[in-house]
Amino acid sequence: MIVKDIGFIIRRYNFRNTSLIASIYTLNFGKIVGIFKGFYTKKREFTSHLGFCSLNEFLFYPKKREIWLISQTDLICDFSFLWKDLKKNEIATICSLLVDRMMPLWEVNKDVFFLFKQTLEYLDKKDIDIVFFTFLLKFLTFSGFKPQLNRCINCEATLIGDVFFSVGKGGLLCQKCYKKVDDWQKVSSQVGRSLLYLQDSHFPLVFNLQLAESCKKEINFILKQFLSYHLDFNFLKF
């Protein structure tokens, strides 16, 4: 049975000389892998260039085997600003790699689809660090690795003043508990509160937050370590 759906190209590679294979994150089927036979022979059915991160409409045939045949595609949005700004491109690349790596085939998750869509849309308009941190914190929640930021992860106490982050434990610790773990790092109360605000708030409310460069560096460092430890995912360039 042929179906129609929309999705983002999150990874793509050439197959033989004429065809293209891509990971696509769709709205109604989750991650799928599709083959576009004859893509490089300029078939009329493929009016989209299927650029990295582009949003397209697809006609395809769901099957039990891993790679599905895509028979037609039309471009909806190619987010062309990504090709003019290296930093935005890097953020979009990291987000795509994470979705491709962490999302199992055919597991529908509309939260992840709309998070990815909003991330790309806001990357062009707003503070890109806040866009990136929001994506990472929400993606961790949706994929089952939510860091605990509202209470001490050890004793559940309310967090006041300076707090401590344990990557291994997966969250913040109070002033009494941090010495019980080996991998604590001190975090300013502003960074602790900012992480929690970004985790709990939605686009575009997250942009009410103003972050100093020093806070951004601290948050980037914490999230980078967290992803490396829990997801075995490293992004060294950023």
Q: Which is nearer to Zn ion, 176 or 217 (CB)?
A: 176
User: Does residue 204 have a cis bond before it (omega within 30 degrees)?
Assistant: yes
Q: Please enumerate in sequence order all residues whose Cβ is within 8 A of that of 144, keeping only pairs 6 or more positions apart, or say none.
A: none
Q: Which stretch binds Zn ion (CB under 5 A): 16-24, 45-53, 73-81, 151-159?
A: 151-159
Compute CA 111 distance to the chain's CA centroid, rounded to the nearest angstrom: 11
SS3 at position 16: coil
177 touches Zn ion by CB under 5 A: yes
166 touches Zn ion by CB under 5 A: no
Which position among 86, 157, 160, 205 is part of the footprint of Zn ion (CB under 5 A)? 157
Q: Which is nearer to Zn ion, 175 or 220 (CB)?
A: 175
153 touches Zn ion by CB under 5 A: no
Compute CA 150 distance to the chain's CA centroid, rounded to the nearest angstrom: 22
Give, rounded to a whole angstrom, the gap between the first and last alpha carbons of the chain: 43
Q: Which is nearer to Zn ion, 2 or 157 (CB)?
A: 157
User: Does residue 104 have a cis bond before it (omega within 30 degrees)?
Assistant: no
Q: Which is nearer to Zn ion, 155 or 212 (CB)?
A: 155
Which position among 72, 73, 143, 154 is part of the footprint of Zn ion (CB under 5 A)? 154
Look up tokens 């982050």; give the residue.
Answer: 165
Binding site for Zn ion (CB under 5 A): 152, 154-155, 157, 174, 177
